[in-house]
Every structure is written in C-alpha cells, then in structure tokens.
Amino acid sequence: MKKFITVLAIIFAFTAPTFAAGYIENFNLDDITQVQDRINKVGFRILNSNRLEQRVCFRYLPRQKEYNVGTDLKFLYLQWIVYVTPLQMANIGDDNELAALLSRRIAQAVDSYDGIFRGYGSLLDYWVKPQKYNNKADKEAVDYMVAAGYNPLALIVHICKSTPQRRYECGDSYSLSSRRMARIYEYIYNKYPSFLATNYYSDNIYYQNFLLTSRANRAKLQQKIETKSTKKVRYK
C-alpha cells in the first residue's frame, strides 16, 4: 500500500557493424561540463539516428548522494529526462558502454510517453511488471545502439561490470543479471550476428568474464539452435 501511494504521489506531482570506440582517456568526472557534454553527444546521436520523435534530454547528477538511487532514480528513469550518476560514469570505459547505459534509459523514457495522463500511467504499469519493461528496454537498447553505430555487445560488458548477481529475482525490478546478459546475447545472435562474427570485445576482460560465467546458458542456446526449437530458453 505504501508503494502504491508513493507511485500516486509521483504521478500527480508532476545496419552496419561499424561503431564508435571513443575510449574515455584522461576523462575527469569532476569536470561537470566535460561529462555533460560527453553524455549529450552520445545521447543525441542515439536519438537522432533512431529518429525518435519523443523529446528526451540528459542530466548528469554530480551530487549523487542527494538522491536515493534505489528509489528516486527508479522513477526518474521512466520520465523524459535521462539521469546519469557519477557511480554509473565511473564504470564507463568507452562511448559504446556509455551508449549502452543511455540507450536503456532512452527506451524507458520513450515508453513513458504512452499511457493515460500523458504517460503518467506508464509508471503504474512499470510498478506492476517492472521485469517485463526492463527486459524490453534491454532489447530496444540493442536496436538503438546498432542504428547509432555503436557495438551492442557493450551492453553485456556494461551489465557485467555494473550489475551484481542476486540470489533470486522474485520481487526485484530486474531479472538476474546472468539471465539478462544471456537474453541479450541471444538477441544479438539472432538479429545482429555480424557483431559476434567479428567480435571487437573478444579480448575484453569483462566480456571474457561473461563468456566464462555464461557457459551453461550459452550451451542451452546452442542446443536450441541445433534442435531448431522455438521454445523460450530457461536461462539460469
């Protein structure tokens, strides 16, 4: 009941495999202007390349401690401003990974335009079925990244670096990170296989960790491919 009241309060209160690398070298996270400029350039490239007509802008939050990341930002992500925190930027290695972070948030922001009360109703939908919307955002992020010239495998790298593995996903807003990465891998395999054929991330230590920890899940995908099954894979 308390969560429902919180949601109501918020509602009424207001293809080519070429990609950009752009490693962030000598990048000063304390320089707010520099960080904001980098976020804007990558973010608007994604918006324009995907011809997204919904208005979305980006805001860097240098004073992250003023926000409850587990609560406040959960709802801010669903609005028409994409917020980025210093902790998130600290895990960004290049523009592909930044595009991965922003593409997910853009997908959620675009979805939040739909629904009653000029999109406020989407907050209620998200609260009821958050995993469904987050899984959808993962796939849309892959599409957005490819259209903008970024490498979609960076989304796996980003999740591997920044998202811990929980014991259970019941009651959580996200599926287990191992399942998310496996589903993203399958989506890329089926829709954008060229990125796996010429894998830019093959020597990346974070991608190698994904390959190591996803052996059982990738074996399940291989079995699905070999048997030509149409059933959804039950990843661990």
State the residue for tokens 């000598």.
Answer: 26
pLDDT at 155: 97
For the entire predicted model, the pTM comes to 0.79
Q: What is the DSSP string of 43-103?
A: HHHHHHHTT--S--EEEE-S-GGGS-TTTHHHHHTTSSEEEE-HHHHHT--BHHHHHHHHH
Instruction: Kindly report the length of the chain.
Output: 236
Distance from C-alpha of 88 to C-alpha of 179, rounded to nearest angstrom: 21
Distance from C-alpha of 234 to C-alpha of 5, rounded to nearest angstrom: 35
Q: Give the start-to-end residue ranges of the domains of the chain.
A: 2-227
Nearest alpha-carbon partner for 19 in 104, 99, 107, 125: 99
pLDDT at 57: 92
Strands (E), the chain: 57-60, 81-84
CB-based contacts of 106, cutoff 8 Å, min separation 6: 43, 46, 47, 52, 56, 82, 141, 144
Cα distance between the two ends of the chain: 32
Structure tokens at 113: 């335009």
pLDDT at 48: 98
Structure tokens at 44: 């608007």
Q: Are 154 and 100 within 8 A, CB to CB?
A: yes
pLDDT at 2: 44
| Per-residue pLDDT tens digits of the chain, which is 236 residues long | 444 334 334 333 333 334 455 555 556 666 889 999 999 999 999 999 999 999 999 999 887 555 554 444 445 555 688 989 888 999 999 999 999 999 999 998 888 766 555 555 566 666 566 657 788 999 999 999 999 999 999 999 999 999 877 766 665 566 688 999 999 999 999 999 999 998 889 899 999 999 999 999 999 999 999 999 999 898 88
pLDDT at 129: 64
CB-based contacts of 152, cutoff 8 Å, min separation 6: 100, 141, 142, 145, 146, 184, 188, 192, 195
